[in-house]
Amino acid sequence: MSAERKNEQKTFYPHFVAEIAAAALLCLQLLLVLALLFAPDTGRQIDLSRQFQPRPEWYFLWLFELVKYFPGKSIFIGTLVVPALSVLLLALMPFIDQGSSGRKKASVVFYVLAVMPILLTAMYLLSR
């Protein structure tokens, strides 16, 4: 790198701060469009005598669906084993990716961890 190029080196401030501010504004725009168009309403008051078919947040739908496949005593596989294992595998990704075929192993694990929730969510939505 020549001395001249070095002088042009971009620094966090001001070069990147401007771009970051633009991205942050974009986020706010996106949020406002959604928030203005689809505002949440007030739900009905709690009525313990009427069982309500609940629906969790979208990022929990896959767990909701998963649990259905483990009836009775095996239910803890759906509620504990699979979710805990998923988080553990995701967290340990750097250590799965070790050695010559490490990236391949990591990719397979990551692919499964990504596709499983998407598939289960799709199944939940289709089964309704």
Partner 1 sequence: MISRVIEWMDERFGIVSIHRRILRRPMPEDISYGYCLGGMAFTFFLILAVTGMMLSLYYVPSETEAYRSVQKITEEVPLGWLVRSMHKWSASLFIIFILLHTLRVFIAKAYRKPRELNWMVGVFVLVLAMGSGFTGYLLPWDQRAYWATEVGTSMAGTVPFIGEYLLHLVRGGPEVNGNTLVRFYSLHMLYIPLSISAGLWMHFHMVRRQGVSKRL
Residue numbers at the binding site for partner 1 (CB under 8 A): 9-13, 15-17, 19-20, 23-24, 26-28, 30-32, 34-36, 38-47, 50-60, 63-64, 67, 75-76, 79-80, 87, 90-95, 97, 103, 106, 110, 114
**CA 60/CA 65 separation, integer angstroms:** 9
**CA 101/CA 8 separation, integer angstroms:** 40
Structure token digits, residue 62: 């896959």
**CA 59/CA 74 separation, integer angstroms:** 23
**Residues near 82 by Cβ (< 8 Å), separated by ≥ 6?**
66
**CA 71/CA 78 separation, integer angstroms:** 9
Structure token digits, residue 79: 């509620």
Distance of closest approach, residue 25 Cβ to partner 1, in angstroms: 9
**CA 105/CA 13 separation, integer angstroms:** 40
